[in-house]
Amino acid sequence: MTSLVRLDGVTFAYDPARPVLDRVDFTLAAGERVALNGPNGIGKTTLLHLMVGLVLPQAGCIHAFGRERRCEKDFVEVRARAGLLFQDADDQLFCPTVAEDVAFGPLNLGKSKAEARRIVHATLESLGLAGLEERVTHTLSGGQRRLVSLAAVLAMAPEVLLLDEPTNALDEPTRARLLEILGDLPQAMVIVSHDRDVIERLATRTVRLEAGGRLS
Amino acid sequence: MSLPGAPCAGSSILGEGGGVRPPSLVERLDSRTRVILALLFAVALVTGSDVTLLTVGLGLALILALLARLPVVRTLRRMLVLEGFMLVVLALLPFSIPGRVVAEVLGFAASAEGLTRAAQITLKANAITVAVFALLGTLEVVALGRALARLGAPERLVHLFLFTVRYLDVLDREYRRLRLAMRARAFRPATGPHCWCSIGYLFGMLMVRSLERAERIDAAMRCRGFTGRFPCLHEEAESGPGALDWGVGAASTAAVTLLLVMG
Ligand SMILES: Nc1ncnc2c1ncn2[C@@H]1O[C@H](COP(=O)(O)OP(=O)(O)OP(=O)(O)O)[C@@H](O)[C@H]1O
Ligand SMILES: [Mg+2]
């Protein structure tokens, strides 16, 4: 079994007085879709942020794509290969228009403008968002923002998807479509979700995060 | 697929809804022409001092406003802020600048020099404001940023500008959300420690939230491979300046030269 992302005894605290994660072990293997749940404020979002190096652990180590990753520089490559969908879509959309936002990742990866345009077009099309291309991001509805930020992540063609409550704030048809889309994607995923359907229809394995440790 | 640079609905500085009316003469100008024109106009007026010339300048600005089809009421409302300040200047300058006394009010002497100076400042400020509203106010914020970039403004400055615009909006929304949350729990502004304390919390929270959002946006950008350089999706050569731009450019250059020579 080849592991894509592996956390070994990772300990993390924002504030030393209140540790969030205490010696957590977690492995994501190729082809897996792991549902991660647990009570609010237990550290699920933090766990995803650790995987792409947005916060660095105080102890333990993080292996990603066959190498140990320690510092900001190591994680630059990880972020290109593991796409993180933020819990709050508003944080993720910072470019003036939808097209620019979706193109931001591909352009950073060194794609040409023409290529980026093609990717934007194809990605939005596949999510059924073709009409939104030239819209100004902050005028989108909550659900539209969610889907556009997913498009922004998918446009980078990551090998791993880290989705933080992807079905939040979506109406029933949109949610069903998103589940369908996610079900068709080949990538390995970690999905933070309290949504029963997500767990039943998508997940190959469920992990529950509890105070300090973790159990399947 | 719509063209790059095609106007997206409702994000110009004056916040007009994206109507379907044909573009005005000013809107047909290249965004760069408009930036340069506004700059030239401002420089010419700031350096000029002759009251007649400044009046002509104000007239020109009004013509520009007509050409740009500025909404009258909304523009006037925006100008009110400036006029309030102008009133103070107008009221104080004649009495504070020494010179030939032309009138006396309540024992204070008003000087001719002071009056002239007050007139100059009022004319300049109004003419420049109206012209900027006409030329740049109708331009989309994003287009303005891009125009600045294509005119060779430092990349960082342009990003700073665009991010400021983006954050202003976020800040405003955050403020409104907090205010709404307060009102929803029956908060009413009144004098008293409870109110001051709550208002203090409101602004404190606003700052903390903005800072945190900035951090999260930075994280989101790094997640998508941001390393400090902003890629631009739009092609460099969208469209060159047209005949209209060259015409306006030539005419305004001539006018400004004339103005500078005479003033
Ligand atoms: N920037 C921060 N600074 C300090 N503490 C934080 C910060 N972000 C999160 N925390 C704390 O860390 C803990 C874990 O937060 P995290 O966001 O990972 O929870 P979560 O499991 O994702 O919760 P939810 O289900 O509500 O999204 C919480 O107790 C929270 O108070
Ligand atoms: Mg969370």
ipTM value for the complex: 0.73
B113: closest CA of chain A, how far (Å): 49
Q: Do A76 and B225 touch (CB under 8 A)?
A: yes
Identify the nearest ligand to the CA of A50 by its number.
Answer: 1
pLDDT score of B14? 47
Determine, for residues B233 and A80 on separate chains, whether the beta-carbon distance falls below 8 Å.
Answer: no
Q: What is the pTM of this model?
A: 0.68
Instruction: Please report the pLDDT score of residue B239 as a whole number.
Output: 63
Residue for token pair 């300049």: B124
The pLDDT of residue A121: 93
The per-residue pLDDT for A120 is 92
Tokens of A50: 């650790």
pLDDT grade, residue B63 (50/70/90)?
confident
Question: Of chain B residues 205-234, which have a CB less than 8 A from chain A?
Answer: 213, 216-217, 219-227, 231-233
Residue ranges for chain A with pLDDT beneath 50: none
8 Å CB contact of B216 and A104: no
The residue-averaged pLDDT of B166-185 equals 76
Taking contacts as CB-CB distances below 8 angstroms, the residues of chain A near B231 are: 103-104, 107-108, 116
Neighbours of B19 (CB within 10 A): 8
Both tokens of B244, joined, read 């209209």
Q: Which of the 8 DSSP states describes residue A139?
A: G
* C-beta separation of A209 from A202 below 8 A: no
Taking an 8 Å cut-off on Cβ atoms, the answer to whether B166 and A152 are in contact is: no
Q: Which amino acid is at A192?
A: V
Confidence of residue B8 (pLDDT cuts 50, 70, 90): very low
Contact A96 B226 (CB under 8 A): no
CB A27 within 8 A of CB A205: no
Q: Which of residues 37-96 of A touch B (CB under 8 A)?
A: 49, 52, 54, 76, 79-80, 83-84, 86, 88, 90-92, 94, 96
Q: How many CB pairs under 8 A join A and B?
A: 91
Is residue A139 less than 8 Å (CB to CB) from chain B?
yes
Contact in structure between A214 and A25 (CB atoms under 8 Å): yes
Contacts of A162 in chain B (CB under 8 A): none
Average pLDDT over residues B97-104: 72
Contact A97, A137 (CB under 8 A): yes
Specify the pLDDT at position A190.
Answer: 94
Interatomic CA distance for residues B162 and B145, integer angstroms: 6
Ranges A47-51, B140-144, B155-159: which has the least confidence: B140-144
pLDDT at B3: 32
Tokens of A98: 């939808």
Task: Categorize the per-residue pLDDT at B262 as very low, low, confident or very high, splitting at 50, 70 and 90.
Answer: low
Nearest Cα to A110, choosing from A144, A76, A137? Answer: A76
| Count of Cβ atoms closer than 10 Å to residue B157 Cβ | 12
SS3 per residue for chain B: CCCCCCCCCCCECCCCCCCCCCCCHHHHCCHHHHHHHHHHHHHHHHHCCCHHHHHHHHHHHHHHHHHCCCCHHHHHHHHHHHHHHHHHHHHHHHHHCCCCEEEEECCEEEEHHHHHHHHHHHHHHHHHHHHHHHHHHCCEHHHHHHHHHHCCCCHHHHHHHHHHHHHHHHHHHHHHHHHHHHHHCCCCCCCCHHHHHHHHHHHHHHHHHHHHHHHHHHHHHHHCCCCCCCCCCCCCCCCCCCHHHHHHHHHHHHHHHHHHHHC
Residues comprising chain B, all counted: 263
Q: Which residue lies with its CA nearest to atom 30 of ligand 1?
A: A41
The residue to which tokens 């331009």 are assigned: B139
Per-residue model confidence (pLDDT) at position B19: 46
What is residue A89's three-state secondary structure?
A: helix
Distance of alpha carbon A140 from alpha carbon A137, whole angstroms? 6
Identify the residue whose tokens are 């405003």. Answer: B172
Residue B10: is its pLDDT beyond 60? no
Distance B81 CA to ligand 2 centre (A): 44
User: Quick check: B226 and A109 CB within 8 A?
Assistant: no
CA distance A173 to B125: 55
Which residues in chain B have Cβ-Cβ distances shorter than 8 Å to A99?
233
Structure tokens at B144: 């303005």
Output the CA torsion sign for A88, A90, A94, A100. positive
Please name the residue whose Cα sits nearest to atom 23 of ligand 1: A41
Q: How confident is the model at residue B106 (pLDDT cuts 50, 70, 90)?
A: confident
Query: ∠ CA A145-A146-A151 to the nearest 5 degrees?
Result: 90
Whether B5 has a pLDDT exceeding 70, the answer reads: no
pLDDT band at B81 (very low <50, low <70, confident <90, very high): confident
A94: chain B residues, CB-CB within 8 Å:
163, 166, 217, 220-221
Minimum mean pLDDT among A25-39, B155-169, B209-223, B224-238: which range?
Answer: B224-238
Which residues does ligand 1 sit against, CB inside 6 Å? A 14-15, 20, 40-46, 87
Per-residue pLDDT band for B6 (boundaries 50, 70, 90) equals very low
Chain B positions touching A84 (Cβ under 8 A) are 223
pLDDT of amino acid A143 = 84
A48: part of which helix (H) or strand (E)? helix A44-51
The chain-wide mean pLDDT, for chain B, equals 75
Please answer yes or no on whether A86 and B220 come within 8 Å at the CB atom. yes
3-state helix, strand, coil in chain A (%, to 5): 40, 25, 35
How far separated are the first and last CA of chain B, in Å rounded?
Answer: 50
Q: Which residue among A46, A88, A191, A207 has the greatest number of ligand 1 atoms within 8 angstroms of its CB, and so is best to mutate?
A: A46
pLDDT for the residue numbered B142: 73
Would you say A32 and A53 are in contact if contact means Cβ atoms under 8 Å apart?
Answer: no
Residue B192's CB is within 10 A of a number of other CB atoms, namely: 9
Q: Could you tell me if residue A144 is left (phi over 0), alpha (psi between -120 and 50 degrees) or otherwise beta?
A: alpha
